[in-house]
Amino acid sequence: MINFHQVHKAYRVGGHDIPALQPSDLQIARGEVFGIIGHSGAGKSTLLRLINRLEEPSGGRIQIDGEDVTALDAAGLRRFRQRVGMIFQHFNLLSSKTVAANVALPLKLAGVLSRSAMEARVAELLARVGLSEHANKYPAQLSGGQKQRVGIARALATEPKILLCDEATSALDPQTTASVLQLLAQINRELNLTIVLITHEMDVIRRVCDRVAVMDAGVIVESGAVADVFLHPQHATTKRFVLEAEQVDEDERHDDFAHVQGCILRLTFQGQATYAPLLGTVARETGVDYSILAGRIDHIKDTPYGQLTLALTGGDLEAALARFTAADVHMEVLR
Amino acid sequence: MDALLTSLLPNVDWLEIWQASLDTLSMLGGSLLFTTVLGLPLGVLLFLTSPRQMFEQKTFYGFLSLLVNILRSVPFVILLIVMIPFTVLVTGTSLGVAGAIPPLVVGATPFFARLVETALREVDRGIIEATQAMGATTRQIVVNALLPEALPGIFAAVTVTAITLVSYTAMSGLIGGGGLGDLAVRYGYQRYQPDVMLVTVVLLLVLVQILQTAGDKLVVHFSRK
């Protein structure tokens, strides 16, 4: 659906080129929710804006649906942008227009629908985001979550194939974030919409994304299925994000285990294995004692996962490790 | 009542005051109309070509900006006199209401255009970006997003400009422009009739008050923030 071939971007500031994105390749499939995570200044915002050419690439090729969007002329670019919706951290609604008029704006600009067809479409969109009764209010009268819902309705107005989300939940409280993410997941399913979102919160990635790319200093340092990246982070930046998500300080994590006896290992379960009674079975059969040092059982999008840090003492340690290795879990021996 | 007024304000010819008030209102109305019609596009042009905006044009903006600054730095009294040949060319006379309007417009348009530019700059960049992302042309962005969002600011600019024009109309009395300012100068100052001066100043004050109040009401009415 979206293909980046060696796309790069540099800003010219005072006669110097400041690179924002190093030459990068990226493939995003139709119908998936693709997350880009990075700290501020990592280049994720630039990457997102290259997709609808709010930023012009300094080089490379961007293909969307087989079409080379880097080659589009001004008129072609405007038509292309009508097929790509976008929502923003600060919503960017027009304060001078009602909710209904905000949602109608892309339709009005495209100028293809009659007035009555436009009204019907706006009503349908507001119903989808649950704001039908607020149609005649002004954005200033709405809460943050409601404003973002207006933003989503507006972005969907021209029936785009792609939705770009620029830190769409970063200005919202956790509860509102959850409901907006739920709405995004729902429209992704129901409309088979390809969603590309950028965020600095691993939790957002974990809740809605299928795949993720991790960015650091203008480079995509790691990418893949969310579960793989999340549970087995390779790059230092990714590891930091995962720790942030678990709200553990790196120092704390290791210090805690210094005085613990025995063999320390980390087991990662995914899917149905999460609910299998593996630990008890192995303990009973091999005679090892286990204590749980840290643990988390949660979901990545719809997939359950568990991650346990254990200390094993006594019994037949070799046999226990062999059992874990053979089972449907990922095992790392930490000490 | 009449007797009281006559004794308190012996030199005031109310018919003349009435005529002068009408002249001031026509000068104000006419010049405000032309100032708005010319200054709004000029302000939009200044904004669009200014640095980091949609049509960034360093040289053009620099030239336009300089022109505006030159016109703004010429004292209005000087402009009134320098403009006389041009005014005669345009309106056929340099006197009366018709003769006053061209210098008023030339004096106020650059001022108004700068205020419009500032009002447009107040519009959140994110709103422009969002409209661009919808595939809008620059014209559509100006008409559908920039102007509606800047409307309260533009009304405030019109109000400030209208009040500035009131004081300019008073100055145009110097070159025979007519109106309340003219009366104040000719009767109040030159013939030393303080009662005429007082009446004209009070009437100008009332006019300014009305303009400011109406302007403020419009600004509030169109503010949705």
Query: Do A216 and A260 sit in the same domain of this protein?
Result: no
CATH topology of domain B2-220: MetI-like fold (1.10.3720)
CA distance B127 to chain A (A): 5
Q: Is the pTM of this model over 0.90?
A: no
Query: Do A176 and A205 sit in the same domain of this protein?
Result: yes
Name the nearest CA neighbour of B108 among B177, B183, B163: B163
Q: Is residue A69 part of a domain?
A: yes
State the pLDDT confidence band at A274, using cuts at 50, 70 and 90. confident
Q: What pLDDT, on the 0 to 100 scale, is given for residue A256?
A: 64
The secondary structure of B135-156 as a DSSP string is: T--HHHHIIIIIHHHHHHHHHH
Residue B200 is given by DSSP the state H
Number of domains in chain A: 2
Phi, psi (degrees; rounded to nearest 5) at A287: 75, 10
Q: What pLDDT, on the 0 to 100 scale, is given for residue A249?
A: 52
Q: Is residue A289 part of a domain?
A: yes
Q: Is residue A73 part of a domain?
A: yes
Among A218, A245, A272, identify where a domain stops: A245
Query: Do A184 and A319 sit in the same domain of this protein?
Result: no
| Closest alpha carbon within chain B to A77 | B135
Query: Do A32 and A120 sit in the same domain of this protein?
Result: yes
Q: Is residue A272 part of a domain?
A: yes
* Residue partners of B24: CB distance under 8 A and separation at least 6: B166, B169, B179, B180, B181, B204, B207
CATH of the domain at A193: 3.40.50.300
Which residues on chain B are in Cβ contact (under 8 Å) with A51? Answer: none
Query: Do A156 and A285 sit in the same domain of this protein?
Result: no
Name the nearest CA neighbour of B21 among B170, B189, B195: B170
Q: What pLDDT, on the 0 to 100 scale, is given for residue A230?
A: 86
Tokens 């204590």, residue located: A291
Query: Do A157 and A261 sit in the same domain of this protein?
Result: no
Query: Do A159 and A299 sit in the same domain of this protein?
Result: no
Which residues on chain B are in Cβ contact (under 8 Å) with A107? Answer: none
Query: Do A175 and A313 sit in the same domain of this protein?
Result: no
Q: Is residue A250 part of a domain?
A: no
Query: Do A165 and A114 sit in the same domain of this protein?
Result: yes
A181-196 pLDDT, tens per residue? 999 999 999 999 999 9
Which residue would you say has higher pLDDT here, A95 or A283?
A: A95
State the pLDDT confidence band at A248, using cuts at 50, 70 and 90. low
User: A81 and B124 in contact by Cβ < 8 A?
Assistant: no
A290-304 pLDDT, tens per residue? 888 888 888 888 788
A193-208 pLDDT, tens per residue? 999 999 999 889 989 9
User: A81 and B133 in contact by Cβ < 8 A?
Assistant: yes
Q: What pLDDT, on the 0 to 100 scale, is given for residue B154?
A: 97
Range of the domain at A321: 255-333
State the pLDDT confidence band at B52, using cuts at 50, 70 and 90. confident
Among A245, A263, A297, identify where a domain stops: A245
Query: Do A237 and A259 sit in the same domain of this protein?
Result: no
Among A196, A220, A245, identify where a domain stops: A245
CATH of the domain at A301: 3.30.70.260
Q: CB-CB: which of A92, A97, A164 is closest to B124?
A: A92
At residue A259's C-alpha, the angle toward residues A253 and A263, to 5°, is 80
Which residues on chain A are in Cβ contact (under 8 Å) with B131? Answer: 105, 109
Query: Do A239 and A270 sit in the same domain of this protein?
Result: no
ipTM: 0.86
